[in-house]
Amino acid sequence: MDCALFRYTSKNQNATLLYDCDPEFLPPQTSELLCMKNGKPEHASFVTDTYLANQLASRCEFSVVVPVLATAAQGPANHSLHTNDVLGQGFEVEWIVDGTQCRACTVSGGICRYNMTSQKFFCACGESGDQAYPISCPNPPELPPASNFAESISIKGDSMISHFQFIWGYPKLLKPQPSFQCGGLGKIEYPFWLDGHQPHYCGRPGSRLHCQNGEATIGIMHRKYRIINIDYNAQVLKVGTINNGSKGACPHPNATIDPSPMSYTSKVENSTFLFDCWQYEDHPGSYWFTCEMDDLQRPSYFVVNTSLANELGSKCAERVVIPVLGTVAQALLNHSLDVDGLLREGFEVEWEVEEEEECGECVESGGGCG
> What's the CA gap between 195 and 177, in Å, rounded?
13
Amino acid, res. 189? E
> Does 82 fall in a domain?
yes
Cα→Cα distances 324→7, 20, 192, 238, Å:
50, 44, 23, 11
* pLDDT for res 327: 95
Asked if residue 332 and residue 268 are part of one domain, the reply reads yes
Considering the domain boundaries, does residue 227 fall inside one? yes
Query: Is residue 204 a part of any domain in this protein?
Result: no
The answer for residues whose C-beta is within 8 angstroms of residue 48's C-beta and 6 or more apart is 13, 15, 16, 68, 73
- d(C-alpha 168, C-alpha 250), whole Å: 43
* Separation CA 120–CA 97 (nearest Å): 11
* Residues 238, 326 within the same domain: yes
| Dist CA 110 CA 30 (whole Å) | 52
**How far is the CA of 192 from the CAs of 112, 204, 206, in angstroms?**
38, 7, 9
What pLDDT was estimated at residue 171? 37
- Sign of torsion, CA 334 338 343 345? negative
* 23 located within any domain: yes
Residues 239, 283 share a domain: yes
Q: Look up the domain containing 294 and give its range.
A: 221-350
Give the contacts of 6 (CB within 8 A, at least 6 positions apart): 93, 94, 95, 96, 164
Judgement on whether residues 80 and 128 belong to the same structural domain of the protein: no
**In terms of DSSP H, where are the helices of 66-193?**
70-73, 75-78, 83-88, 99-107, 146-152
Does one domain contain both 231 and 280?
A: yes
Q: Which of 333, 285, 278, 321 is closest to 300 using CA atoms?
A: 278
Q: What pLDDT does 172 receive?
A: 40
Res 260: pLDDT: 62
319 and 303 housed in the same domain: yes
CB 218 within 8 A of CB 262: no
pLDDT score, position 276: 92
Q: What pLDDT is stored for residue 365 in this prediction? A: 60
Per-residue pLDDT 10s for the chain (370 aa) are 555 567 888 888 888 888 887 776 777 777 777 676 666 667 788 888 888 888 888 878 888 888 888 888 887 777 666 777 778 788 888 776 666 777 788 888 888 777 767 777 788 888 777 788 888 888 765 544 433 333 333 333 333 444 444 444 433 434 556 678 888 888 888 888 888 888 776 777 778 899 988 899 998 877 888 999 999 889 999 998 876 546 788 887 777 776 667 889 999 999 999 999 988 888 888 999 998 888 889 999 999 998 999 989 888 989 889 999 999 999 999 999 999 999 999 999 998 766 566 676 666 666 667 6
Residues 80, 131 within the same domain: no
In a domain, 286, yes or no: yes
- Overall number of domains in the chain: 3
Looking at the structure, tell me whether residues 129 and 33 fall in a common domain. no
Helix and strand totals (H; E) in the chain? 10, 22
- Would you say residue 195 lies in a domain? no
One domain for residues 84 and 132: no
